[in-house]
């Protein structure tokens, strides 16, 4: 079971909202809206995706990493490395 299973419906709701925002940005570009207004919406979508990412990361640490730590030191180290790699990818974006 995934660490986010308990929050799955909330994540899906939030992702659908983000999808709608992206469609709105597409419409703004099609309608030749002002660049700064489009960038403002892109920033809002970016922040919303970052919030989803942080929530998933928190769920991963709280569930997957904790479970691995209960299993063995090696499993815990692997999950911590996996989480650290994910954080590095998030920071680079």
Contact criterion met (CB below 8 Å) for 38 and 29: yes
The pLDDT score that the predictor gives to residue 83 is: 92
The pLDDT score that the predictor gives to residue 93 is: 64
**Region of 32 on the Ramachandran plot (φ > 0 left; ψ -120 to 50 alpha; else beta):** left
Which tens digit of pLDDT belongs to each residue from 31-55?
999 999 999 999 999 999 999 999 9
The pLDDT score that the predictor gives to residue 82 is: 92
Helices 35-59, 73-92: inter-axial angle, 10-degree rounding: 170
> In this prediction, what percent of the chain has a pLDDT beyond 70?
98
The pLDDT score that the predictor gives to residue 6 is: 79
The pLDDT score that the predictor gives to residue 4 is: 78
- Which residues of the chain carry a pLDDT beneath 50? none
């Amino acid at each position: 079971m995934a660490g986010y299973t308990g929050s799955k419906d909330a994540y899906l709701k939030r992702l659908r909202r983000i999808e709608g925002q992206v469609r709105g940005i597409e419409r703004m570009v099609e309608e030749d809206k002002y660049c700064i207004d489009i960038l403002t919406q892109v920033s809002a979508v970016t922040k919303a995706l970052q919030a989803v990412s942080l929530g998933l990361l928190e769920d991963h640490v709280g569930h997957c990493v904790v479970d691995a730590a209960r299993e063995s030191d090696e499993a815990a180290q692997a999950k911590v490395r996996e989480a650290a790699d994910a954080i590095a990818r998030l920071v680079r974006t």
